Protein backbone atom coordinates (compact mmCIF):
# COMPACT_ATOMS: atom_id res chain seq x y z
CA UNK A 1 0.00 0.00 0.00
CA UNK A 2 1.27 3.48 -0.84
CA UNK A 3 0.58 6.83 0.79
CA UNK A 4 -3.15 6.87 1.71
CA UNK A 5 -5.57 7.99 -0.98
CA UNK A 6 -6.88 10.69 1.38
CA UNK A 7 -3.43 12.29 1.50
CA UNK A 8 -3.17 12.16 -2.28
CA UNK A 9 -6.60 13.76 -2.58
CA UNK A 10 -5.64 16.43 -0.07
CA UNK A 11 -2.53 17.20 -2.12
CA UNK A 12 -4.50 17.37 -5.36
CA UNK A 13 -7.05 19.78 -3.87
CA UNK A 14 -4.24 22.00 -2.58
CA UNK A 15 -2.66 22.08 -6.03
CA UNK A 16 -5.97 23.14 -7.57
CA UNK A 17 -6.37 25.90 -4.98
CA UNK A 18 -2.87 27.21 -5.71
CA UNK A 19 -3.36 27.07 -9.48
CA UNK A 20 -6.77 28.75 -9.32
CA UNK A 21 -5.50 31.58 -7.14
CA UNK A 22 -2.43 32.06 -9.34
CA UNK A 23 -4.55 32.28 -12.48
CA UNK A 24 -6.85 34.84 -10.87
CA UNK A 25 -3.94 36.98 -9.66
CA UNK A 26 -2.30 36.84 -13.09
CA UNK A 27 -5.57 38.05 -14.57
CA UNK A 28 -5.48 41.02 -12.20
CA UNK A 29 -1.99 41.86 -13.46
CA UNK A 30 -3.17 41.64 -17.07
CA UNK A 31 -6.17 43.86 -16.43
CA UNK A 32 -4.34 46.39 -14.25
CA UNK A 33 -0.97 47.04 -15.87
CA UNK A 34 -0.95 50.04 -18.20
CA UNK A 35 2.04 50.14 -20.58
CA UNK A 36 2.02 53.92 -20.27
CA UNK A 37 2.40 53.79 -16.47
CA UNK A 38 3.62 50.40 -15.27
CA UNK A 39 4.39 51.45 -11.72
CA UNK A 40 1.34 53.59 -11.04
CA UNK A 41 -1.12 51.16 -12.57
CA UNK A 42 0.28 48.13 -10.72
CA UNK A 43 0.18 49.99 -7.41
CA UNK A 44 -3.60 49.98 -7.71
CA UNK A 45 -3.81 46.39 -8.98
CA UNK A 46 -1.49 45.06 -6.29
CA UNK A 47 -4.01 45.87 -3.58
CA UNK A 48 -6.56 43.49 -5.13
CA UNK A 49 -3.86 40.91 -5.87
CA UNK A 50 -2.77 40.93 -2.23
CA UNK A 51 -6.34 40.35 -1.08
CA UNK A 52 -6.74 37.46 -3.52
CA UNK A 53 -3.47 35.82 -2.45
CA UNK A 54 -4.39 36.05 1.23
CA UNK A 55 -7.82 34.61 0.45
CA UNK A 56 -6.23 31.72 -1.45
CA UNK A 57 -3.73 31.09 1.33
CA UNK A 58 -6.45 31.13 3.97
CA UNK A 59 -8.61 28.75 1.93
CA UNK A 60 -5.69 26.34 1.53
CA UNK A 61 -4.80 26.48 5.23
CA UNK A 62 -8.42 26.07 6.35
CA UNK A 63 -8.55 22.46 5.08
CA UNK A 64 -5.77 21.28 7.41
CA UNK A 65 -7.86 20.62 10.51
CA UNK A 66 -10.67 18.78 8.75
CA UNK A 67 -8.25 16.48 6.93
CA UNK A 68 -6.01 15.84 9.94
CA UNK A 69 -8.95 15.16 12.24
CA UNK A 70 -10.08 12.49 9.79
CA UNK A 71 -6.56 11.05 9.63
CA UNK A 72 -5.32 11.38 13.22
CA UNK A 73 -8.15 12.60 15.43
CA UNK A 74 -8.70 16.00 17.04
CA UNK A 75 -5.79 18.21 17.98
CA UNK A 76 -4.93 20.24 21.06
CA UNK A 77 -6.53 23.32 19.57
CA UNK A 78 -7.61 24.39 16.11
CA UNK A 79 -5.21 25.64 13.44
CA UNK A 80 -5.66 29.35 12.70
CA UNK A 81 -5.68 29.65 8.87
CA UNK A 82 -4.94 33.37 9.02
CA UNK A 83 -1.81 32.76 11.09
CA UNK A 84 -0.60 30.13 8.63
CA UNK A 85 -1.21 32.53 5.74
CA UNK A 86 0.71 35.31 7.48
CA UNK A 87 3.60 32.96 8.30
CA UNK A 88 4.02 32.16 4.60
CA UNK A 89 5.63 35.57 4.26
CA UNK A 90 5.28 39.27 3.62
CA UNK A 91 3.57 39.96 0.30
CA UNK A 92 5.30 43.24 -0.43
CA UNK A 93 8.31 41.67 -2.14
CA UNK A 94 6.39 39.09 -4.19
CA UNK A 95 4.03 41.77 -5.50
CA UNK A 96 6.78 44.30 -6.16
CA UNK A 97 9.07 41.89 -8.02
CA UNK A 98 6.84 41.47 -11.11
CA UNK A 99 7.03 45.23 -11.64
CA UNK A 100 10.82 45.25 -11.17
CA UNK A 101 11.18 42.34 -13.59
CA UNK A 102 9.11 44.13 -16.24
CA UNK A 103 11.09 47.36 -15.81
CA UNK A 104 14.38 45.46 -15.96
CA UNK A 105 13.35 43.73 -19.19
CA UNK A 106 12.51 47.11 -20.71
CA UNK A 107 15.88 48.54 -19.73
CA UNK A 108 17.56 45.56 -21.40
CA UNK A 109 15.75 46.26 -24.67
CA UNK A 110 12.90 43.76 -24.56
CA UNK A 111 9.54 44.75 -25.98
CA UNK A 112 6.83 46.13 -23.73
CA UNK A 113 4.61 43.09 -24.37
CA UNK A 114 7.34 40.59 -23.50
CA UNK A 115 8.37 42.59 -20.44
CA UNK A 116 4.82 42.57 -19.12
CA UNK A 117 4.52 38.82 -19.79
CA UNK A 118 7.73 38.21 -17.83
CA UNK A 119 6.25 40.01 -14.83
CA UNK A 120 3.05 38.03 -15.16
CA UNK A 121 4.90 34.70 -15.26
CA UNK A 122 6.79 35.52 -12.06
CA UNK A 123 3.61 36.68 -10.32
CA UNK A 124 1.83 33.44 -11.21
CA UNK A 125 4.78 31.35 -10.00
CA UNK A 126 5.18 33.14 -6.68
CA UNK A 127 1.42 33.07 -6.01
CA UNK A 128 1.32 29.30 -6.41
CA UNK A 129 4.27 28.99 -4.04
CA UNK A 130 2.73 31.28 -1.41
CA UNK A 131 -0.59 29.42 -1.40
CA UNK A 132 1.14 26.02 -1.19
CA UNK A 133 3.40 27.25 1.62
CA UNK A 134 0.44 28.46 3.68
CA UNK A 135 -1.24 25.07 3.35
CA UNK A 136 1.90 23.18 4.35
CA UNK A 137 2.45 25.46 7.36
CA UNK A 138 -1.11 24.74 8.52
CA UNK A 139 -0.59 21.00 8.01
CA UNK A 140 2.63 21.01 10.01
CA UNK A 141 1.08 22.98 12.88
CA UNK A 142 -1.90 20.62 12.92
CA UNK A 143 0.34 17.54 13.00
CA UNK A 144 2.37 18.86 15.92
CA UNK A 145 -0.89 19.59 17.75
CA UNK A 146 -1.82 15.90 17.44
CA UNK A 147 0.29 13.70 19.74
CA UNK A 148 -0.50 10.59 17.70
CA UNK A 149 1.48 11.97 14.76
CA UNK A 150 5.19 11.10 15.03
CA UNK A 151 6.53 12.06 11.58
CA UNK A 152 5.45 13.10 8.12
CA UNK A 153 5.89 11.72 4.62
CA UNK A 154 6.33 13.74 1.45
CA UNK A 155 3.38 13.32 -0.92
CA UNK A 156 4.13 13.88 -4.61
CA UNK A 157 1.36 14.12 -7.18
CA UNK A 158 2.06 13.68 -10.87
CA UNK A 159 3.05 15.48 -12.97
CA UNK A 160 6.08 16.46 -10.88
CA UNK A 161 9.65 17.62 -11.38
CA UNK A 162 12.67 15.33 -10.92
CA UNK A 163 13.63 17.02 -7.65
CA UNK A 164 10.30 16.10 -6.08
CA UNK A 165 10.04 12.63 -7.63
CA UNK A 166 13.24 11.41 -5.98
CA UNK A 167 11.97 12.63 -2.59
CA UNK A 168 8.58 10.91 -2.97
CA UNK A 169 7.55 8.96 0.10
CA UNK A 170 10.55 10.05 2.15
CA UNK A 171 9.83 10.19 5.88
CA UNK A 172 10.89 13.14 8.04
CA UNK A 173 10.70 14.08 11.70
CA UNK A 174 8.37 16.90 12.67
CA UNK A 175 11.39 19.11 13.29
CA UNK A 176 12.59 18.79 9.68
CA UNK A 177 11.86 21.75 7.46
CA UNK A 178 9.99 21.02 4.25
CA UNK A 179 12.24 21.19 1.19
CA UNK A 180 10.50 22.99 -1.66
CA UNK A 181 11.23 24.94 -4.81
CA UNK A 182 9.19 27.63 -6.60
CA UNK A 183 5.80 26.24 -7.65
CA UNK A 184 6.35 23.07 -5.60
CA UNK A 185 2.92 21.68 -4.71
CA UNK A 186 3.98 18.62 -2.72
CA UNK A 187 2.27 18.12 0.62
CA UNK A 188 2.67 16.11 3.83
CA UNK A 189 1.00 12.94 5.09
CA UNK A 190 1.01 12.20 8.85
CA UNK A 191 2.55 8.99 10.18
CA UNK A 192 1.44 7.42 13.46
CA UNK A 193 2.76 4.43 15.42
CA UNK A 194 1.22 1.31 13.95
CA UNK A 195 0.61 2.73 10.47
CA UNK A 196 1.20 -0.13 8.05
CA UNK A 197 1.09 1.64 4.71
CA UNK A 198 4.41 1.53 2.90
CA UNK A 199 6.23 4.57 1.60
CA UNK A 200 5.84 5.22 -2.12
CA UNK A 201 9.33 4.99 -3.61
CA UNK A 202 10.70 7.33 -6.28
CA UNK A 203 11.13 4.32 -8.55
CA UNK A 204 7.46 3.35 -8.30
CA UNK A 205 6.39 6.92 -8.97
CA UNK A 206 8.75 7.11 -11.94
CA UNK A 207 7.16 3.97 -13.39
CA UNK A 208 3.74 5.63 -13.14
CA UNK A 209 4.89 8.54 -15.28
CA UNK A 210 4.25 8.60 -19.00
CA UNK A 211 7.23 8.71 -21.32
CA UNK A 212 6.54 12.39 -22.00
CA UNK A 213 6.41 13.17 -18.28
CA UNK A 214 9.70 11.33 -17.72
CA UNK A 215 11.41 13.29 -20.49
CA UNK A 216 10.02 16.59 -19.25
CA UNK A 217 11.08 15.97 -15.67
CA UNK A 218 14.43 14.23 -16.16
CA UNK A 219 15.49 14.94 -19.73
CA UNK A 220 15.87 12.55 -22.62
CA UNK A 221 19.43 11.48 -21.78
CA UNK A 222 18.53 10.77 -18.15
CA UNK A 223 15.41 8.86 -19.22
CA UNK A 224 17.58 6.62 -21.37
CA UNK A 225 20.11 6.13 -18.59
CA UNK A 226 17.39 5.18 -16.12
CA UNK A 227 15.95 2.69 -18.62
CA UNK A 228 19.40 1.10 -18.76
CA UNK A 229 19.54 0.73 -14.99
CA UNK A 230 20.94 4.04 -13.72
CA UNK A 231 19.93 5.00 -10.17
CA UNK A 232 17.46 7.89 -9.85
CA UNK A 233 19.34 9.31 -6.90
CA UNK A 234 22.55 9.43 -8.96
CA UNK A 235 20.76 11.17 -11.81
CA UNK A 236 19.27 14.00 -9.78
CA UNK A 237 20.56 15.98 -6.83
CA UNK A 238 17.66 15.89 -4.36
CA UNK A 239 18.46 19.23 -2.77
CA UNK A 240 19.25 21.22 -5.89
CA UNK A 241 16.90 24.19 -5.92
CA UNK A 242 15.16 23.08 -2.71
CA UNK A 243 15.12 25.48 0.22
CA UNK A 244 13.89 26.08 3.74
CA UNK A 245 13.98 29.44 5.52
CA UNK A 246 17.08 30.55 7.40
CA UNK A 247 17.04 33.58 9.69
CA UNK A 248 18.86 35.21 12.57
CA UNK A 249 22.43 33.88 12.08
CA UNK A 250 21.52 30.27 12.63
CA UNK A 251 19.48 27.71 10.78
CA UNK A 252 15.86 28.01 11.86
CA UNK A 253 12.56 27.81 10.05
CA UNK A 254 11.14 31.23 10.85
CA UNK A 255 9.23 34.08 9.26
CA UNK A 256 9.58 37.82 9.72
CA UNK A 257 6.01 38.37 8.51
CA UNK A 258 4.34 41.08 10.57
CA UNK A 259 7.51 41.77 12.55
CA UNK A 260 9.27 44.60 10.76
CA UNK A 261 8.58 47.67 8.67
CA UNK A 262 12.13 47.99 7.32
CA UNK A 263 12.09 47.91 3.54
CA UNK A 264 14.71 46.12 1.42
CA UNK A 265 13.80 47.51 -1.98
CA UNK A 266 14.25 51.20 -1.19
CA UNK A 267 11.89 53.83 -2.47
CA UNK A 268 9.62 51.54 -4.49
CA UNK A 269 8.98 49.19 -1.60
CA UNK A 270 8.18 52.13 0.67
CA UNK A 271 5.74 53.43 -1.94
CA UNK A 272 4.08 50.02 -2.24
CA UNK A 273 3.73 49.70 1.53
CA UNK A 274 2.26 53.18 1.82
CA UNK A 275 -0.23 52.51 -0.97
CA UNK A 276 -1.59 49.25 0.36
CA UNK A 277 -1.03 49.61 4.11
CA UNK A 278 -1.47 46.56 6.33
CA UNK A 279 -2.92 44.44 3.51
CA UNK A 280 0.62 43.23 2.86
CA UNK A 281 1.37 42.30 6.45
CA UNK A 282 -0.15 40.82 9.53
CA UNK A 283 -2.66 43.15 11.11
CA UNK A 284 -2.06 43.78 14.79
CA UNK A 285 -4.15 46.66 16.15
CA UNK A 286 -3.89 48.36 12.79
CA UNK A 287 -0.10 48.33 12.48
CA UNK A 288 2.70 45.82 11.98
CA UNK A 289 4.60 44.72 15.06
CA UNK A 290 8.20 45.81 15.37
CA UNK A 291 10.08 43.25 17.46
CA UNK A 292 8.39 39.83 17.64
CA UNK A 293 9.58 36.80 15.68
CA UNK A 294 7.16 34.09 14.63
CA UNK A 295 8.86 30.71 14.49
CA UNK A 296 7.78 28.19 11.91
CA UNK A 297 6.01 25.07 13.28
CA UNK A 298 8.92 22.71 12.56
CA UNK A 299 11.33 25.05 14.35
CA UNK A 300 8.95 25.15 17.31
CA UNK A 301 9.02 21.35 17.51
CA UNK A 302 12.81 21.32 17.27
CA UNK A 303 13.15 23.85 20.07
CA UNK A 304 10.68 21.88 22.21
CA UNK A 305 13.12 18.95 21.95
CA UNK A 306 10.38 16.33 21.69
CA UNK A 307 8.24 17.77 24.50
CA UNK A 308 4.84 17.78 22.79
CA UNK A 309 3.11 19.82 25.48
CA UNK A 310 5.77 22.51 25.25
CA UNK A 311 5.51 22.48 21.45
CA UNK A 312 1.76 22.99 21.66
CA UNK A 313 2.25 25.88 24.09
CA UNK A 314 4.66 27.47 21.60
CA UNK A 315 2.22 26.92 18.74
CA UNK A 316 -0.40 28.79 20.73
CA UNK A 317 2.04 31.53 21.73
CA UNK A 318 2.99 32.01 18.09
CA UNK A 319 -0.65 32.08 17.04
CA UNK A 320 -0.81 28.93 14.95
CA UNK A 321 -3.45 27.17 17.02
CA UNK A 322 -6.24 28.63 19.14
Asked if residue 322 belongs to a domain, the reply is no
d(CA 174, CA 170): 13
Q: Does the pLDDT of residue 34 top 90, yes or no?
A: yes
Asked if residue 73 belongs to a domain, the reply is yes
Asked if residue 11 belongs to a domain, the reply is yes
pLDDT at 211: 92
Closest CA to 321 of 137, 72, 54: 137
pLDDT at 112: 96
Asked if residue 166 belongs to a domain, the reply is yes
Give how far Cα 207 sits from Cα of 54, 87, 198, Å: 37, 36, 17
182-198 tens-digit pLDDT: 888 888 999 998 888 87
Asked if residue 197 belongs to a domain, the reply is yes
d(CA 81, CA 32): 29
Query: Secondary structure of the chain: what % helix, strand, coil (to 5)?
Result: 55, 10, 35
Q: Is 218 helix (H, G, I), strand (E, B) or coil?
A: helix
29-33, 125-129, 174-178, 269-273: range with lowest mean pLDDT: 269-273
Closest CA to 136 of 191, 61, 211: 61
Q: Model confidence at 285, in pLDDT bands (50, 70, 90)?
A: very low
Q: What is the mean pLDDT of residues 245-261?
A: 41
**Parent domain of 257:** 5-317
pLDDT at 180: 85
pLDDT at 277: 55
Asked if residue 135 belongs to a domain, the reply is yes
CB 226 within 8 A of CB 232: yes
pLDDT at 243: 76
d(CA 153, CA 137): 14
**Number of domains the chain contains:** 1
Amino acid sequence: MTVPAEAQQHQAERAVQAATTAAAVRAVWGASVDPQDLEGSWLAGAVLAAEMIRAGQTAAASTADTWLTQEAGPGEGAVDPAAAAAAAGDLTGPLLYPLLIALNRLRRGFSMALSILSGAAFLEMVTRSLVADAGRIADMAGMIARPRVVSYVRVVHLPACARCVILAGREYTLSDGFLRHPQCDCTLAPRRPGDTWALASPESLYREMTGAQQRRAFGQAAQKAIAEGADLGQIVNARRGMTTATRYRRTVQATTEGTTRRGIYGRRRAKFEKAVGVRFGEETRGRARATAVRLMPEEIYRLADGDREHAIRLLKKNGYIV
